């Protein structure tokens, strides 16, 4: 099966590795990264130019296009592929609104009685009304830009002053068009977890549950990031809680999307808040695999991912392509460049990845995110840093404790100047006390 993978992050490197573990898969990728190209041939196309993608798919007999990030989905790449008869794993532009418009997602959940925080939506002509509403709202309060803002559009405010500043900044254009509408939301107490459902428009299969670590600092302190590490499966999502999430959140979401004429095909990412009583509500939907959760979730997946995603893309989900969604436990620690999530230096040489991958007989993978190959004047090449999140060191084992231990052994072996990481990834999954 010829597959084209769209994307260039750690999530796509993990997808590339798992997809090509099926011997029948020949993988192409765009834009790709040096890690992805260990498993895939570069398609040398610009995924923003849909005509180029379509031409490539015809030339190379691509049977499936797996779309990693949200931007090409929101831009309608899956629609254009399907119009030409090419199977795509990823939702249509309309179905992608579950992520690309928080106002759409909230109104959708209200229409279909899917549990989430209380909210109100305000547009740019309702700035004063929004200010009055925020000023009278109990604290903490959550302010969200409606559109895609690369994970930066959410403010959890402990004071009304801070909340009003966030509101004004969004309406003043801090997030561009993403901030033209604002969602003001009740703060939910609890612990967060991520659930990924592979969907064919009607049916779904949930993969191993996971927990991300969004803050830059140990103990969930400091600035929000794209995600500093993850582990899977997450014991906070007990079998009962997962069943409840499937029944009260995922199934009604798929029914609702179908009934509204935008069936959801792809990976539905349900960001959950689970309270002390074990009740789950939706914090956010994403319409693609999470990063860095995917690195851990796929490390424990025992099955044929290519077959699974292809079956979903053609509307005939084949759950038998997966033997066990959680055959073990995995931990992924993100190595970031110094200064992340602010401005970072690029071009620092990365060494000793092979040593890290030598630990545990294949139990460790180092996934590339912000890396690039540098061509030296003497004709040699070297790997160097090229972004904020540089690598995702991922280890699997039979227990979480062992996975964490292996992961940090490997983390210590990889070197680049300014290497920054959290030292407590996965700790929240260990038994307390």
* Neighbour tally for 118: CB within 10 Å: 12
Q: Specify which residues 92 forms β-bridges with.
A: none
Euclidean distance between CA atoms 381 and 385, whole angstroms: 13
Residue 122 or 175: the one with the smaller Cβ distance to ligand GLY is 175
Size of the site for ligand AMP (CB under 6 A): 13
Q: Does position 266 bind ligand GLY by CB under 6 A?
A: no
**Of the candidates 321, 143, 294, the residue with the CA atom closest to the CA atom of residue 226:** 294
Euclidean distance between CA atoms 132 and 331, whole angstroms: 44
185 binds, among ligand AMP, ligand GLY, none (CB under 5 to 8 A by kind): ligand AMP
Residue from 121, 166, 188, 407 binding ligand AMP (CB under 6 A): 188
Binding mask 210-239 for ligand AMP (x = CB under 6 A): ----x-------------------------
154 binds, among ligand GLY, ligand AMP, none (CB under 5 to 8 A by kind): ligand AMP
Q: Does position 187 bind ligand AMP by CB under 6 A?
A: yes
Binding mask 272-301 for ligand GLY (x = CB under 6 A): --------------x---xx-x--------
CB of 142 to ligand AMP, least distance (A): 4
CB of 269 to ligand GLY, least distance (A): 7
**Of the candidates 78, 62, 57, the residue with the CA atom closest to the CA atom of residue 25:** 62
Could you tell me if residue 258 is left (phi over 0), alpha (psi between -120 and 50 degrees) or otherwise beta?
Answer: alpha
Q: Does position 192 bind ligand GLY by CB under 6 A?
A: no
Listed ranges 150-158, 202-210, 290-298, 326-334: which one lies at the site for ligand AMP (CB under 6 A): 150-158
Tokens of 16: 């590339």
- Three-state SS annotation for 232-268: ECCCCCCHHHHHHHHHHHHHHHHHHHHHCCCCCEEEE
181-186, strands of its sheet edge to edge: 119-123, 181-186, 141-145, 154-157
- Give the three-state DSSP class for 42: strand
Q: Which residue has the tokens 């690195």?
A: 295
290 binds, among ligand AMP, ligand GLY, none (CB under 5 to 8 A by kind): ligand GLY
CB of 214 to ligand AMP, least distance (A): 6
Euclidean distance between CA atoms 101 and 107, whole angstroms: 10
* Neighbour tally for 176: CB within 10 Å: 12
Contacts (CB under 6 A) with ligand GLY, residues 383-412: none
227 binds, among ligand AMP, ligand GLY, none (CB under 5 to 8 A by kind): ligand GLY
Q: Where do runs of H (alpha helix) occur along 202-357?
A: 239-245, 251-259, 293-299, 305-313, 353-357
Residue 12 or 192: the one with the smaller Cβ distance to ligand AMP is 192
Residue from 99, 146, 284, 293 binding ligand AMP (CB under 6 A): 284
Q: Max alpha carbon distance in the chain (Å)?
A: 66
Residue 291 or 357: the one with the smaller Cβ distance to ligand GLY is 291
User: Which residues contact ligand AMP (rule: CB under 6 A)?
Assistant: 117, 142, 151, 154, 156, 185, 187-188, 192, 214, 271, 283-284
User: Which residues contact ligand GLY (rule: CB under 6 A)?
Assistant: 212, 227, 286, 290-291, 293
């Amino acid at each position: 099966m010829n597959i084209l993978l769209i994307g260039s992050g750690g999530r796509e490197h993990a997808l590339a590795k798992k997809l090509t573990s099926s011997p029948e898969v020949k993988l192409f990728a765009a834009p790709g990264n040096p890690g992805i190209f260990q498993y895939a041939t570069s398609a040398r196309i610009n995924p923003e130019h849909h005509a180029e993608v379509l031409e490539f798919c015809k030339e190379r007999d691509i049977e499936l296009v797996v779309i990693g990030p949200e931007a090409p989905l929101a831009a309608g790449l899956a629609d254009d592929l399907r119009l030409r008869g090419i199977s795509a794993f990823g939702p249509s532009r309309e179905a992608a609104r579950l992520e690309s418009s928080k106002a759409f997602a909230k109104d959708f959940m209200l229409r279909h009685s899917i549990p989430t925080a209380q909210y109100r939506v305000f547009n740019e002509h309702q700035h004063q009304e929004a200010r009055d509403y925020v000023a009278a709202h109990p604290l903490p309060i959550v302010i969200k830009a409606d559109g895609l803002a690369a994970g930066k559009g959410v403010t959890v405010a402990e004071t009304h002053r801070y909340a009003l500043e966030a509101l004004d900044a969004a309406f003043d254009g801090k997030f561009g068009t993403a901030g033209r509408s604002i969602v003001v939301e009740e703060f939910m107490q609890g612990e967060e977890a991520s659930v990924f459902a592979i969907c064919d428009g009607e049916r779904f299969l949930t993969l191993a549950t996971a927990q991300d670590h969004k803050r830059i600092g140990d103990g969930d302190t400091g600035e929000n990031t794209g995600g500093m590490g993850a582990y899977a499966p997450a014991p906070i999502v007990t079998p009962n809680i997962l069943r409840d999430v499937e029944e009260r959140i995922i199934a009604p979401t798929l029914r609702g999307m179908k009934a509204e004429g935008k069936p959801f095909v792809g990976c539905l990412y349900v960001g959950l808040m689970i309270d002390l009583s074990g009740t789950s509500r939706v914090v956010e939907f994403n319409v693609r695999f999470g990063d860095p959760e995917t690195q851990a979730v796929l490390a424990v997946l025992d099955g044929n991912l290519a077959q699974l995603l292809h079956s979903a893309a053609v509307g005939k989900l084949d759950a038998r392509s997966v033997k066990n969604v959680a055959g073990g436990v995995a931990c992924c620690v993100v190595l970031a460049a110094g200064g992340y999530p602010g401005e970072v230096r690029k071009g620092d040489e990365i060494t000793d990845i092979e040593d890290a991958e030598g630990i545990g007989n294949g139990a460790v993978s180092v996934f590339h995110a912000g890396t690039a190959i540098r061509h030296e004047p003497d004709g040699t090449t070297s790997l160097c840093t090229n972004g904020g999140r540089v690598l995702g060191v991922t280890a699997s084992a039979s227990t979480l404790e062992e996975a964490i231990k292996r992961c940090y052994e490997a983390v210590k072996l990889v070197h680049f100047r300014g290497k920054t990481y959290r030292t407590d990834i996965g700790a929240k999954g260990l038994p307390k006390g």
